[in-house]
């Protein structure tokens, strides 16, 4: 989906810059999350891709569904997207906006998947080590997957560290073939 990302990038950057200048990053992120979630609904996708509807009708439909969650500035942004037939980009715009916000705040969300529940002390230690390596504030989300057999799988943005037994066995199988 590189094409969607390419199309969404200037819109996300413009929205981010506007929100940053107006000290409204958190508000914009929340509103974009809601609007993006609504546009991903299959019934809403049908409405938004209907060429018989005008851009204003599409925005009004989104506004009706989102209710008071969508503020005036975000509604104007969505209206601009609609007039350019770019409403389908909203989920990607939201994703890019969230990345810009995380970079601004120098934070990163890290997903840690392990074969067994991690102790709180282990999670904290892992967060500290990753924070030093990535030079960011790390927010750890932990989950379990018994199929890993042992070890951990760490995802931080584009970075994936596979220290699981399953991953090592897969690498060994590749090397043997």
Q: From CA 25, how far away is CA 8, in angstroms rounded?
A: 18
Q: What is the pLDDT of residue 2?
A: 56
For 74-106, write each residue's pLDDT tens digit: 999 999 999 998 988 999 999 999 989 888 878
Over residues 56-72, the mean pLDDT reads 88
E strand map for the chain: 107-114, 137-144, 152-156, 159-162
Burial label for 96, CB within 10 Å (0-12, 13-18, 19+), is buried
Over residues 40-69, the mean pLDDT reads 88
CB 135 within 8 A of CB 103: no
Both tokens of 31, joined, read: 């509103």
Q: From CA 141, how far away is CA 66, in angstroms rounded?
A: 28
User: Does 161 or 35 have the greater pLDDT score?
Assistant: 35
CB half-sphere exposure, 41, CA atoms < 13 A: 12
Sketch out the chain's domains with CATH numbers.
Answer: 2-102 (1.10.520.20), 107-176 (3.30.2320.30)
CB 164 within 8 A of CB 151: yes
Average of per-residue pLDDT values in the chain: 88
For 26-49, write each residue's pLDDT tens digit: 999 999 999 999 999 988 888 888
Over residues 123-145, the mean pLDDT reads 86
Q: Say yes or no to pLDDT of 1 above 60.
A: no
Pairing of strands 137-144, 107-114: parallel
Both tokens of 25, joined, read: 């990053």
Q: In the chain, what percentage of residues exceed pLDDT 70?
A: 99
Q: From CA 117, how far away is CA 22, in angstroms rounded?
A: 42
Q: Residue 161: which pLDDT band, with cuts at 50, 70 and 90? A: confident
Q: Say yes or no to pLDDT of 134 above 70.
A: yes
Q: Residue 127: which pLDDT band, with cuts at 50, 70 and 90? A: confident
Over residues 65-74, the mean pLDDT reads 88
């Amino acid at each position: 989906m590189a094409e969607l990302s390419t199309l969404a990038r200037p819109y996300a950057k413009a929205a981010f810059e506007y929100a940053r200048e107006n000290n409204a990053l958190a508000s914009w992120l929340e509103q974009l999350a809601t609007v993006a979630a609504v546009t991903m609904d299959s019934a809403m996708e049908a409405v938004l891709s209907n060429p018989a509807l005008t851009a204003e009708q599409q925005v009004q439909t989104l506004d009706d569904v989102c209710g008071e969650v969508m503020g005036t500035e975000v509604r104007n942004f969505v209206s601009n997207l609609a007039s350019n037939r770019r409403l389908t980009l909203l989920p990607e715009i939201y994703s890019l906006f969230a990345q810009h916000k995380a970079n601004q705040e120098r934070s990163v969300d890290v997903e840690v998947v392990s074969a067994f529940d991690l102790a709180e002390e282990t999670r904290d230690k892992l967060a500290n080590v990753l924070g030093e390596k990535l030079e960011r504030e790390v927010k750890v989300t932990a989950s379990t997957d018994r199929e890993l057999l042992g070890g951990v799988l760490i995802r931080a943005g584009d970075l994936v560290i596979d220290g699981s037994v399953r991953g090592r066995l897969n690498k060994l199988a590749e090397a043997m073939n």
